[in-house]
Amino acid sequence: MKSTFLKSAAFASAVLLAACSTVPTTTATLDEARADYVAASNNPAVASNAPMEFRQASEALDRANQAAAKRESLDTIDRLAYVAKQRIATAQEVAKAKTAEAEIADASRQRDRVQLEARTAEAERAKREAAAANAQVAAAQQQAQDAQAQAAAAQQQAAQLAERSARLEAILVELHAQKTERGMVVTIGDVLFGTDRAELTPNGMATVRKLAEVMMQNPDRTVLVEGFTDSTGSHSHNQELSERRAQSVAQALTSLGVPRERVAMRGYGEAYPVASNDSASNRQLNRRVEIVLSNENASIPPRAAAR
């Protein structure tokens, strides 16, 4: 388009020069119009943004140049040159206005793009925060479930411990156990053995079976089986009988499922009497086996030295 307009102007000038051999007729207004036209031609915005107005300006300038070439009156030339100047100015103003509009539109597009990017970033941030919040909620729910499970397990364990403790208490009461510093003591009297023998009677085995049940339900306890006699007979006989009776009870416990490492035994003969040996009934009290059940998670202290 720019090339066409320049060719048109050049053609107009050529016509003017060919019309006569003297200096062509011109006016200050026409010279100004020609200069304005050259300036407009060198502005790419005019050709791209105001092509119709620029074409009209070119045609107006051609008419002014032709009038000058024909040596028409100066008033006519000025009038046509003025029209050309106005057309050129209009083309420049239109180009300027459309350039400004394009710049505004571009700025608006950039603003929209920035706003879109900001909204997108905000949406992504909100999405991340929502995901993090959901993860926290899920973690809190899982912790609550874990806490509930732990509480339920603790309650079940407590119930089991309470049940086991109640069962232990009931059996120990049934066995007439005595609480001492060394632990609970169950006494198997002379009548639960054969006369001057170490074998347990059926009633003696029933007592040991109950004690074995206690041991199986309380794996954190141990027992010490201690045998005693009265002072009748020789010292060696009494010592041997006390050891055999203690061993008999210990073997009965292990035969009922109590691990051997949880059962210890000792024989003391006529030592540690619980009554004087001056009567048959008192001597019968001294002929006994004491089974010491340890306190929970504790060892059984040794007996104090016999006096």
Fold of 175-293: 60s Ribosomal Protein L30; Chain: A; (3.30.1330)
Residues in a beta bridge with 288: 189, 228
Helices (H), 175-274: 202-217, 235-255
Q: Helix (H, G, I), strand (E, B), or coil: what is residue 193?
A: strand
Q: How far apart are CA 73 and CA 79, in angstroms?
A: 10
On whether the pTM is more than 0.85, the answer is no
User: From first to last of its 307 residues, what are the pLDDT tens digits of the chain?
Assistant: 444 444 455 444 434 444 443 456 899 999 999 999 999 999 999 999 999 999 999 999 999 999 999 999 999 999 999 999 999 999 999 999 999 998 999 898 999 999 999 998 989 989 999 999 899 999 988 988 898 888 888 888 888 777 877 877 788 888 889 999 999 999 999 888 877 888 999 999 999 999 999 999 999 999 999 999 999 989 999 999 999 999 999 999 999 999 999 999 999 999 999 999 999 999 999 999 999 999 988 999 999 876 6
CA dihedral of 63, 65, 68, 74, whole degrees rounded to 10: 70
- Return the domain boundaries, the chain: 2-110, 175-293
User: Contact, 289 vs 226, CB < 8 A?
Assistant: yes
Would you list the DSSP string of 68-105?
Answer: HHTT--HHHHHHHHHHHHHHHHHHHHHHHHHHHHHHHH
- HSE-CB for 143 with a 13 A CA cutoff: 6
